[in-house]
Amino acid sequence: MNNKSSLPQTLITMQHKNYLKSTIFFLMVILSMFPGNAQNINKLVSPDQRIEVNIDLQNNLQYSISFYHEVVIDNSQICLTLHNGTTLERFEITDIQESSVNETWERVWGKRKLVTNKYNELILHMKEVNSGILTDLYLRAFNDGVGIRYGFPEQDAFDSIILSRESTQFSFAEDHQVWRADYQNYISSQEQEFINGKLSDIKKDQLIGMPLLVKLDNKAYALITEANLTNWAGAFLRADTTKYTMVTDLAPYPEDTDIAVKRATPALSPWRVILIATEPAGLIESDLIANLNDPVAYDDVAWIKPGASAWDWWWSNKYAPAADFDLGPNQETMKYFIDFASEMGWQYHIVDWQWYGEPFGENGANPDADITTPIDGINIPELVKYAHSKHVNLIIWLHWEALKNQMDEALPLYEKWGVSGIKVDFMDRQDQEMVNFYHEVAKKAAEHHLVVDFHGAYKPTGVSRTLPNLITREGVMGNEYNKWSNRVTPEHNVTLPFTRGLLGEMDYTPGAFRNVTQKDFVTEDKTTDGSPMVQTTRCHQLAMAVVYESAFTVFCDSPDNYKTGTGLEFLKAIPTTWDDTKVLNAAVGDFIIIARKAGNKWYIGGMTDADERVLTFDLAFLEKGKYQATLFEDADQANEFPSEINKEEKVLTNTDRLSIRLAKGGGFVAVLEPVEKN
C-alpha cells in the first residue's frame, strides 16, 4: 500500500536484511571442497531460540523441527513430481541467503490491529541433481512456528511448471493425539467435525483437511496448515506409508486429475505452516499465517467496512407472527430484516438466494440464470435506497458459476445499484482453477467497492491480509446444520476455535435464540412450526460473537425470535473487528474464554462443551483503573431451560479474578468499559 492510503499497511518498519556474505563465502568454500556430501545440515533458529529447523540434503531433501530441543517434526522429506514423470528430490546448494525481519504492520480488520512480524529466514538456492532444474527452498522461523515453501526461479530450460504431486511430509516421533476433519473427496464444502483421536487412527484412504491439530504429549501443541494460497492448488493431508507421518495431497484439476499446478516460472508455492505453542491459546493468538501473506494490494481500503448482518435464509418460507406474513424472496421480507438490522445497529443485511430466480440446474448453476435481473417482487435498487435510509447496506447472494459467466457485466451493475457486497456460494473446490477464481472475484469486486463473503469455501490461508475486501468465508459446519442434523454439538463448537477458527475469518452464522437441551433437540422437519433450534444455551450463542472471528458476522435468527428473547442487548452494535485478542483460559474441545478489545471496551466470551463447569480467569490484561462490567451468564435453571440468562452489573479492576458457572452447553459474555475519573 502506498502513502496515499487512508489506512497505511506498514506503520513501523525495522527491517534487517543482512545477507551474510562472509558466511556464504565460507559455506561455499566448504561445499566446493566436498561437493554433494558436505551439505547435510543447514540450521535456522527462531528469534527467541526456542524453535530450530534443520535441513538435510545428504540423501534426499529433508527437514526437521524441534521446540525447546524436543522433536516436533522428525526427518521429513520434500519431494515434487512433474507431469512428465520427473521427480525432484535430490538437490545440491548453489547459494545461501540469510536474513532477519522485525516489523510492525496494521490490519484493515481482524483479531489484532497492530501485528508484529518477526522472523529469521534462510533461503537455499539449489539445483536438482538429476534434472538440473533450479529450485529454491525458503524457510522462516518465527517464535510461534515455521513456514516452508519452495519455488522455481527463471531459467532457460524451464519456463513453465506442470506439477502432478507435492509430497511434503510431516513426520512425528510418536502416536500423538490429533483433531482432524475427513473431507473424503476433493469436491468438498469443508464442513465437517474435527474428530479427536490418534495419528494411527487416520486411514490411508482418508482425505484430511487442513488444519490438523496435534497435541505433542504434555509438552506442546502443533498445527499443520498452509498460508498464502495464490495461483496454486490447495493442499489436503493423507496418512503416509511412514509411521505417524502425514503428507500433502494437492487438489487436482477436475478435468485432469494428474495435474495439480500449471503456471509459468518464476513460481512460488504456498507456505507449509507448522504452528507451535506450549498451550493451545498460543496458536489462537498467533499472527503467523497473516505474516506469511503479502501486504494489502489496494491503495484505498477506507470503503471496506466490517460489520454485523441480518440474514433471512435460516427462516425463509416461515410465517413471521410479529409481521403477520410469510417470509420469502420478496420486498416485504427484505424490508422486515432491514428494519431489524437498523434497530440493532448492524451494518448489513443479506439478500439471499432466489432474488434472481432459480439458481440451480441439473449439474450446478441454472444455465438460464441472469444475475443482472431480479425476479418480479424483488427490486434491488429500491431495496438499496430503503436500506441506506436506515443506515444499512446490502449484500446479495450469487451462485459462483453464474458469477463466473457474468462477472464483468454484473459487478459494475451492482456498484451502480449501490450494493455493498456479494455472497458467492457452492464452489466446493480448492484446485488451482478455483483458487484463481477466488482471487479474481476479490480483485474485481474491489474495483467496484464490493466486499466478498465466500460460502461453500475452502479454509482461509491469510490471503485476506492482501485482499481485505474478502471479509469472511464459510468452510465450517456452522449453525445452518442445525436445520437438518444434530451434528452441531457443544463439543463441536468449542473445538472450532482451536482448529478451523484459528485460521481466520469464519462465517459460522451464530446467535440462535431458540435454545433447547441436547435431549430436547430435534431438526427443523420434526418441529411443530418448522422453526430451527440449537442444542446450546442462549449465552453459548451470544459468546460466539466474541469467540469466533469474522469481520462480517451474520446472525442467523429471525427478528421475531430476537425481539422476544433475553440477551438481545449484547448483540446490539457488537464489534466485528478488534484492536487486540487475549485467550484467558482454554482446553481443546472442552471450553474456551477469549477477551477482545475494541476501542476502550473489552468484550469477553466463554463457552463450554456438554459438561457443566465453573471457569476461572483473572483480569490482569486490563490496564489500571476501574471498569464497569455487564455480565450475561447462564441462569441457575439453564440446564433445563437453556434460554434463561442472568444479567449482572459490577465494578472490576485488573486485580480481580472471576469464577463463572456455565451450564451444560453453556456460556457467558461480558462487556467491560473504563469508569471515567471525576
Average pLDDT, the chain: 92
Query: Residue 184 falls within a domain, yes or no?
Result: yes
Residues 6+ apart with CB under 8 A from 221: 213, 214, 215, 276, 277, 278, 279, 280, 282, 283, 588
The lowest-confidence range among 2-6, 236-240, 277-281 is: 2-6
Split into its structural domains, the chain has a count of 2
Question: Is it the case that residue 428 has pLDDT exceeding 60?
Answer: yes
* For residues 409-431, average pLDDT: 98
Query: Residue 324 falls within a domain, yes or no?
Result: no
Among 256, 291, 326, the domain boundary falls at 291
Q: How confident is the model at residue 573 (pLDDT cuts 50, 70, 90)?
A: confident
Among 236, 258, 291, the domain boundary falls at 291
Question: Is it the case that residue 15 has pLDDT exceeding 60?
Answer: no
Query: Residue 180 falls within a domain, yes or no?
Result: yes
- Helix or strand holding residue 446 (H, E): helix 432-447
Query: Residue 332 falls within a domain, yes or no?
Result: no
Segment 271-299, tens digit of pLDDT = 999 999 999 999 999 999 999 999 999 99
* For residues 444-454, average pLDDT: 98
**Which range marks the domain in which residue 130 is found?**
10-291
* For residues 474-483, average pLDDT: 97
Query: Residue 257 falls within a domain, yes or no?
Result: yes
Q: How confident is the model at residue 41 (pLDDT cuts 50, 70, 90)?
A: low
pLDDT at residue number 157: 84
Query: Residue 368 falls within a domain, yes or no?
Result: no
Displacement of CA 636 from its chain's centroid (Å): 35
- Domain CATH number, residue 214: 2.70.98.10
Among 225, 258, 291, the domain boundary falls at 291
Question: Is it the case that residue 563 has pLDDT exceeding 70?
Answer: yes
pLDDT at residue number 11: 33
Cα–Cα distances (Å) from 536 to 482, 587, 663, in that order, read: 11, 18, 9
Query: Residue 211 falls within a domain, yes or no?
Result: yes
Segment 51-107, tens digit of pLDDT = 999 999 998 999 999 999 999 999 999 999 999 999 999 999 999 999 999 999 999
Question: Is it the case that residue 2 has pLDDT exceeding 70?
Answer: no
3-state DSSP assignment of residue 287: coil
pLDDT at residue number 364: 85
| Percentage above 90 pLDDT, the chain | 87
Segment 506-516, tens digit of pLDDT = 999 999 999 99
* For residues 653-670, average pLDDT: 98
- Sequential DSSP letters for 542-584: HHHHHHS--SEEE--S-HHHHHTSTTHHHHTT--SS-SEEEEE
The lowest-confidence range among 162-166, 421-425, 530-534 is: 530-534
Segment 530-543, tens digit of pLDDT = 789 999 999 999 99
Query: Residue 44 falls within a domain, yes or no?
Result: yes
* For residues 310-325, average pLDDT: 76
Strand order in the sheet with 591-598: 580-587, 591-598, 601-608, 667-674, 627-634, 645-652
Apex 407 CA angle, 404 and 413, nearest 5: 150
Exposed / middle / buried, residue 638 (Cβ in 10 Å: 0-12, 13-18, 19+): buried
- Domain CATH number, residue 575: 3.20.20.70
Question: Is it the case that residue 307 has pLDDT exceeding 90?
Answer: yes
pLDDT at residue number 314: 82
pLDDT at residue number 530: 76
Segment 363-376, tens digit of pLDDT = 889 999 999 999 99
